[in-house]
Structure 1
């Protein structure tokens, strides 16, 4: 061996442990009753805690709601700054990694090929990531900011040109770079350690550079349990919102009361559809539904763009971009906020929601991203969603706000129910019943896709990172997701949205700390890989 080769071998030995797969096999402690793959104790503790929450909430709904609201108030009072600082840091971290030499590393190794085409890949990102929320808040959020429903961003005077600008800019702020940076960090960490280092596709794997063999013990168990709980509550919030809006839309179209009973029935029906999708597998389930989602969403978007005030919407794109750039820093400031009610009710809820969703969306992104370079991964995951968010929220937001400004329909009187805003807007456009029916179908398909992909991710975590665990386990988790969503609706009563927000914020707080530590661990792992590849190039 030459001196250069010896030096390269020394560098490799110093910077990285290459025997991750052996460590993984040695660390498994799965139990296999009835042929199942359950990672003991993650499966049992996560399931037990979730079932206990569901039962206690259904038995004591008033006490559950009081407890959730108290937890939410305490978290907002003491840790609002933590959510904001963590989110800002994660965004800067992603940008730094993308533009650095680390961006050249390919997920799966230098010769890895992409499993899915770019169009299907992007479609699955959106269907699993923010589909239900975009439909629910597409019109409602800009209208809320413009009309002072729950406060206005930065205390701007409502129903003014400045309120219009901030309504678009603040909405894009909540749905743009920051949430997808949170998703991207978890997704990149999981993809790198799974595809490049042979570790299981589960959250604990991202902490190997820091914990080493201890990821197979209680530190790793705790990380995975926190990930499961955060994911379940993040998903339950989205499923609850979807059920509320779908029930409201059905009531709007057919006069059927959007009662708690109808919402629970919807959750039950859609959970059954999600189970069918689970049984059909990735290609016949999630991939197919994701592509259907994109077609339906594009159709609804095109309809609102052409049937609404097209020129106003088109000029609104520039307004949204300029406002986002102008107000991103003031909206990220956590000190001396005069708009505290708005800031807590919207921004902090969103940051906690994205953190709660990050194990789910991050792992799902990782699962479908083999073969991409880190720079490709981060560019697509960060930039494309911002473009889509600008187009989507500007189209729906401007269309609704213009109806308010011109005194058209019911929206000028203000928001009565957030889930109703979309249908009140569509009511004043051509073919209102067809457009509203399309929106309901889109919600349901998004609902099913989120539940299916969520059960896939939770099952992988609780099965020790195995992606080929028996279908029965994914059915179990899909069912449990629906139960948590139902429990939050029952426990919340008239303030169900507040209960869902409370559950999301409470579960998102501990995982925010996990997210920050993950950034450091991922950086160590990427640096080691970079030095390893550099050493190999020197050796050859």
Structure 2
């Protein structure tokens, strides 16, 4: 056990240094070729590609829905267990490690990367969809009833609460621990070192890292493309601007340009700065919606949302004998596959900014604090949307039409709608910039063999690739091409579910080893030194 992490591997030893870049061989080259082939094939055959990947996505969800649900439950229980176990006192980076970022900046970055943009998109649309039976109702509850309203909020929290953050936490904690405490590269393959030792640096590790790069860039490009459609739709809804392909491409170019500037500036001058600004803007919008949307009723909305979440978390986590198959497969299993496919990107970014925290601090911040904040956010925005639907006010009274416009339709019935909707568009765009930034930094690290600071040209390359992929697919194939990209990313979720389950075991082995041998030897050395000093 004492030599469990002994390796002669040196970060960057397999890298090719040319054109101002530091490329890990063969991960960088294979990833680039596969991304290029996918984009070309999807542009030539957009509908066929969508059909093929939709088929693979449907097969994964239909046949392994139980695996996604079981794994999600395991991740939550595993993280909660680590919080209370003695290993929770282990500090990422060693006993003398200090956090690189303040608590507020750290939380802002992990929240912006994790799901900030999703909360903007779905905070009104998702509860409204469940309440109006837009695509199935949770647990078969009757739509447009008081019970339906409660369960709509509870089911929304189920999809955005403990389970997705536990998925991210498993990946993030594994990577942070094996990198900062065991000296392994900050790449997905390092989490498997306890099982396969130096074979991690061979083809098994290359395959894992290539899949992680593909999942990350596909997920980011998909979100950028759909986000451009949402922002363009908002501009058209508010100002009558044409929301067609030219506006969407212009938005992608703008977001990508800002993202490139941000990644060049690095974590402190880029992602950290934008994340802090975005959290302040999001807080301002949240307080406004609370003040004029739900008022003092926010306290009852929070109680309703939290209560419905706690009451229904076990029934919604169950995979046996579900009668709400349309909701279960169309929403829950889809979400779990999506979160898992995003976990390499979000998990690695959270690991990148979390050195110096204890395991317990890390899990409380990554698992519990975002869940509490999301309860407040969903209660304000989702509660205001459902209140308008129940009162027959505005366009939402007729149900959910275009999901990307639900937020703007809710804000339209509040004072200063033009200003708040404009702020919402800015938030959507800046959240996309921060996601692109953090994703580029993650891909840089993987394709540089685990180095934390890839050369500037390499950062620019991947940030540009994300924009080019989204723009090219949107321009050449439209919704079919983006749908194919999204389906491909979700398909990756199935094999990565097994990867994450293995990570749980490897992480527990590593933490136990750290506490038993490393920290144990440290305590023994201190006792020996104290004894020798007293004897002298």
TM-score, reference length from structure 1? 0.94
- Would you say 1:15 and 2:5 are equivalent positions? no
What's 1:331 paired with? 316
In the alignment, what sits opposite 1:141?
Answer: 126
The SS at the match of 1:23 is coil
- Check whether the contact 2:27–2:209 (CA below 8 A) recurs between aligned residues: yes
Counterpart-to-counterpart distance in 2, 1:189 and 1:392: 29
Q: Secondary structure at the match of 1:531?
A: helix
Cα distance between partner residues in 2 of 1:52 and 1:499: 14
From 20, 28, 45, give the equivalent of 1:35. 20
* Match runs of 1:92-103 below 5 Å: 92-103=77-88
Conserved 8 A contact 1:136-1:241: no
SS of 1:519's equivalent in the other structure is helix
Are residues 75 and 31 of structure 1, via their aligned partners in 2, closer, same or farther at CA, if it must alter by over 3 Å? same
> 2:209 — aligned with what?
224
Write the distance in 2 (CA, Å) between the matches of 1:467 and 1:494: 35
Q: Distance in 2 between matches of 1:108 and 1:257?
A: 51
Match of 2:100 in 1: 115
Aligned to 1:3: none
After TM superposition, list the pairs within 5 Å mapping 1:182-331 onto structure 2.
182-331=167-316
**Distance of aligned partners of 1:179 and 1:39 in 2 relative to their CA distance in 1, 3 Å threshold:** same
2:52 to 67, 70, 83: 67
Counterpart selection for 1:356 from 314, 334, 341: 341
Residue equivalent to 1:538: 524
- Cα deviation, 1:400-441, whole Å, max 9, x if unaligned, reads 111111111111111110000001111111011100000000
Partner Cα separation in structure 1 for residue 475 and residue 58 of structure 2: 20
1:503 to partner: Cα distance: 2.7
Is residue 417 from structure 1 mapped to residue 402 from structure 2 by the alignment? Answer: yes
Which of these residues, 446, 452, 455, is aligned with residue 467 of structure 1?
A: 452
Query: Is the 8 Å Cα contact of residues 349 and 504 (structure 1) preserved in structure 2?
Result: no
Aligned to 2:67: 82
- Distance, in Å, in 1 between the alignment partners of 2:482 and 2:442 is 25
Summarize the Cα distance change of 1:64–1:262 in structure 2 as closer, same or farther, 3 Å threshold: farther
Paired residue for 2:534?
A: none
Deviation at 1:501, TM superposition (A): 4.4
d(CA) in 1 for partners of 2:486, 2:65:
14
From 318, 325, 328, give the equivalent of 1:343: 328
Q: For 1:351, what is the secondary structure of its paired residue?
A: helix
Where do 5+ consecutive residues of structure 1 fail to align?
A: 1-13
Q: How many residue pairs align between the two structures?
A: 525
Residue 461 (structure 2) aligned to one of 472, 476, 497: 476
CA–CA distance in 1 between the matches of 2:322 and 2:478?
31
Residue 24, structure 1, aligned to residue 10, structure 2: yes
Q: Distance in 2 between matches of 1:440 and 1:86?
A: 35
**3-state SS of the aligned residue for 1:294?**
helix
Residue 158 (str. 1) matches residue 131 (str. 2)? no
1:58 and 1:490 in contact (8 A); partners too: no
User: What is the deviation of 1:343?
Assistant: 1.3
- Alignment-derived partner of residue 154 in structure 2: 169
Closer/same/farther in 2, CA of residues 325 and 488 from structure 1, 3 Å limit: farther
Give yes or no for contact 1:65–1:492 (8 Å, CA) kept in 2.
no
Does the 8 A contact of 1:312 with 1:398 survive in 2?
no
Hey, what's the Cα distance between the residues in 1 that align with 2:21 and 2:257? 21
Residues 49 and 481 in structure 2, CA contact (< 8 A), matched pair in contact too:
no
Change (3 A) 1:134 1:250: same
- Give the whole-Å Cα distance in 2 for the aligned partners of 1:111 and 1:178: 32
Matched-pair contact (CA < 8 Å) for 2:46–2:481: no
Checking the alignment, whether the CA contact within 8 Å between 1:492 and 1:498 is kept in structure 2 is no
Distance, in Å, in 2 between the alignment partners of 1:38 and 1:100 is: 40
Residues 46, 484 of structure 2: 8 Å contact kept: no
SS for the counterpart of 2:124 is helix
Contact 1:490–1:496, Cα closer than 8 Å, also in 2: no
Q: Distance in 2 between matches of 1:442 and 1:499?
A: 27
Change (3 A) 1:443 1:229: same
Partner residue of 1:179? 164
How much has 1:536 moved relative to structure 2? Answer: 3.1
Calculate the TM-score normalised by the size of structure 2.
0.95
Q: Which runs of 5+ in 2 are unaligned?
A: 528-536
CA-based RMSD of the aligned residues comes to 1.7
Distance 2:112 2:226 in 1: 15
> Could you say what secondary structure the match of 2:393 adopts?
coil
The CA distance in 2 between the partners of 1:349 and 1:216, in whole Å, is: 32
CA deviation digits over 1:469-499, x for unaligned, max 9? 1111111111222234345546874567754
Pick the aligned partner of 1:513 from 498, 514, 519: 498
In the TM superposition, residue 448 of structure 1 has moved relative to its aligned partner by 0.5
